[in-house]
Amino acid sequence: MADEIGKQLKFYYYKSLTSTQDNAKEFAKKGLSNIVIAADAQTKGRGRFKRKWYSGKGGLWMSILLKPNNAENLQFLTFAAAVAIVKSIKKIAKLNTSIKWPNDVHYKGKKLCGILTEGIFGKDNHTIVGIGINVNQSRFYSEIKHIAISLRMIKHEVFDIKRLMRNIVNEFFILYNDYYNQNKFDKILKIWKRYCDTIGKDVTVTTKIKRLKGNAIGVDKDCSLLLKLKNGKIIKIIEGDVGVRY
Ligand code: BTN
């Protein structure tokens, strides 16, 4: 059975976990859902394409475990989370940030946040929306310091991580409601486009098999990126990393 929207959410906080995604999977195995798991630090945080995700103290590391009635369009949950994050950062840190297709929230080209949406398919289809936000770190390891930034580094302020988390969860569930009522995918996409600054830019796209250059002319109704190559051909990118010069 899928979740009922509005069913009460449960929050679990930990000092340290390997990954909030792993912990969410344990809850999923027990058939549970509508759970938010957060940790002060992760020892094995991971990002897309199994990349290491640096997640020591100071960040917001959380996973939302869901049992949606539609497990085929999970990319919309990534988009819904990105919108919830941009709106919450605006409210709490008074900062305008942007979305880079498909899953990053950045500030002037530096990564503030990444989203990892994972589906667990079986008797019950669970989905885990993992969110990592650089909040109160004052410095980063040399491997990421040229690409990452925290809210504290931008605003010279320390933020209440739990307040930010609660705000994101509230905003996310407003859109999850639209996801649940399937015909509202367009609505999520429309709001997401307002905050995405990839469209219209010359980009480099790296997929598992190739590297392409072109102009990001749009995002299709299934959330894929529409890339116009130099020869005029338009291709759809379903998965990949986008490099943009800001
Ligand atoms: C990415 O940009 O590649 C996605 C990064 C997602 C990181 C978050 S932190 C909370 C959750 N737990 C993890 O191990 N990963 C996600």
Distance 208 CA to ligand 1 centre (A): 19
Does residue 48's CB lie within 6 angstroms of at least one atom of ligand 1?
yes
Bridge-based pairing of strands 10-17 and 35-42 is: parallel
Per-residue model confidence as pLDDT tens digits over 108-118: 999 999 999 99
Which atom of ligand 1 sits closest to the CA of residue 59?
Answer: 9
Q: What pLDDT shows up at residue 145?
A: 81
Does residue 115's CB lie within 6 angstroms of at least one atom of ligand 1?
yes
Cβ atoms within 10 A of the Cβ of 82, count?
30
Signed CA dihedral, 166, 124, 22, 98: sign only: negative
What's the whole-model pTM score? Answer: 0.95
Does residue 198's CB lie within 6 angstroms of at least one atom of ligand 1?
no
Do 227 and 212 touch, CB atoms closer than 8 A? yes
Per-residue model confidence as pLDDT tens digits over 54-108: 999 999 999 999 999 887 889 999 999 999 999 999 999 999 999 999 999 999 9
